[in-house]
Amino acid sequence: MDRVHRKDGVDLLTRTVAPGVALGGVIIGIGLALKGPLDGISHAEEAVNRDLAGDRTGTWNTITAVWSQIGNTAGVIAVCIVVSSLLLWRSRDLHLALVAPVAIAMQGLIFLISAKVVDRDRPQVERLDPSPPTASYPSGHVGASTGLYFAFALLALGIERPWLRWTTVVLCLAMPLLVAFSRLYRGMHHVTDVGAGALNGAICALLAYGWYRTCTSRR
């Protein structure tokens, strides 16, 4: 049993953490390019933010404020703890319960390092939320919500009842899309910030799920 646990730990490092390091390098590289040779894209993106800011209404301000909270760090962590605890209680499978925590922990670390290195300014429009101390690129809200809910969507593929399986998958995939739109609408991020956040969260979820599948195949 100890040998199996050691193998699981080695696989976590080689199949999840190591590719995560490479992913972080790619995301940082894209961010630095947006501040350098691809600076023209950054200027073009401002038009999207200006258009969204110009079409704001009180109703959509309220709706997007709620959607934005889906990706809030505290909310993501709380949902992760509750759902992962329920999965562990029902399945008695620690690997299964660790998929979402591993995904959001990895994306969170990549986000923090990337934001510090790239240090991109936020869009030049009125922002509807207080600006967190981290920079604009990549979107932490989108990365966290994508990592969490995409991981849940992957796990939901194991649900036996088709209607429940696909309803759960669709709902989970919709969550980060709502967060992404809200962060653009509220002037907190550029389009590429949101795209990089989604890439970060999605790949981290896939890596964590792949590790779980590898561990399961050895049983």
Share of the chain above pLDDT 90, in %: 76
Domain that holds residue 26: 2-217
Q: Which residue has the higher pLDDT, 180 or 43?
A: 180
Integer angstrom CA distances of residue 167 from 84, 179, 181:
19, 19, 21
- At 38-96, the pLDDT tens digits run 888 888 899 999 999 999 999 999 999 999 999 998 999 999 999 999 999 998 999 99
Q: Which of 95, 75, 77, 97 is nearest to 86 (CA)?
A: 97
Q: How many domains does the chain have?
A: 1
Residue in 105, 89, 91, 71 with CA at minimum distance from that of residue 186: 71
CATH of the domain at 114: 1.10.606.20
How far is residue 145 CA from its own chain's centroid? 5
